Amino acid sequence: MSGVQDKVQQHYDQVAEIYDSRYNHKRGRSYHAHISRHVMSCLPEGGMLLDLGCGTGLFVHRYSSQGGNAVGLDFSRGMIFRARDRNRDSDFGIGNAEILPFRDKAFDAVASLLAFSYLKNPEQMLAEAWRVLKPGGTLAICTLGRNLLTSGLPAVYTLGEVMRIRRVGMGAFGERYYAPDEMTGLFEMTGFREVTARRCSFAHLNLVDPLYSLARRIEPFVEEKIPSLAYNLLVSGRKPDH
């Protein structure tokens, strides 16, 4: 594992106990639910899902509660501990998304929420997702999108690290912000077809009120009419049947 990945793993081990307070209460719950709905819209119902970078199992819980089965993988032991506690009927493992410990053609779908940007070798992760997907299976990734609003975030995160702010994601991890054509190209180069890319999420968790409340109200309009202002990117593609 690279130095950057070691750093990311250490960070999420340290913040595992406060992760749910960010994403499973109040505004964090609505934010995660919003992203989850976008990802869910790309996935087959009732299939076997692999969630890469599953965190504390919030998306696994959502997918399972809607009739599917799911397996979660994360390289943070602290996150996996909490994911297992939340999802007693699902399986979880500690591992690297670039080297998946699963057999070929094992899953109907693979998803990843807000973890792809931290990968050192994204092409390898996509190749592994392709390998473990059944023919006709779907890959859906929600990752950090590159635009005017996100261009200054690395500097903010670096400052947060210097100030020792202990918050989820608040650190200089060298994360990559993707443009839609970059992600589309990566998917198609791997072999995925019917690739779509769209921007989502305008109400950032770190916005203070009343800005956050305002952003939430206008979020649907921004996503539909001014998508360049949305800061996450949702990309999906299908593995051909043959």
CB burial of 28-67 (b: ≥16 within 10 Å; e: otherwise) equals beebbebbbebbbebbeeebbbbbbbbbbbbbbbbbbeee
pTM score, whole prediction: 0.82
Note if the bond before 210 is cis, omega within 30 degrees. Answer: yes
Do residues 192 and 181 lie in contact, with contact meaning Cβ atoms separated by under 8 Å? no
The domain limits of the chain are: 3-238
Q: What is the pLDDT of residues 160-212, one digit of tens each?
A: 444 454 454 444 456 888 999 999 999 999 999 999 999 998 877 767 778 88
Q: Which CATH number fits domain 3-238: 1.10.10.10, 3.40.50.150, 1.10.8.60, 3.40.980.10?
A: 3.40.50.150
Helix 58-65 crosses helix 26-40 at what angle (to 10 degrees)?
60
- CA atoms of 153 and 9, how far apart (whole Å): 20
For 221, the enclosing helix (H) or strand (E) is helix 211-225
- pLDDT above 50 for 156: no
At residue 195, the 3 state secondary structure works out as: strand
Q: What is the pLDDT of residues 45-81, one digit of tens each?
A: 999 999 999 999 999 999 999 999 999 999 888 889 9
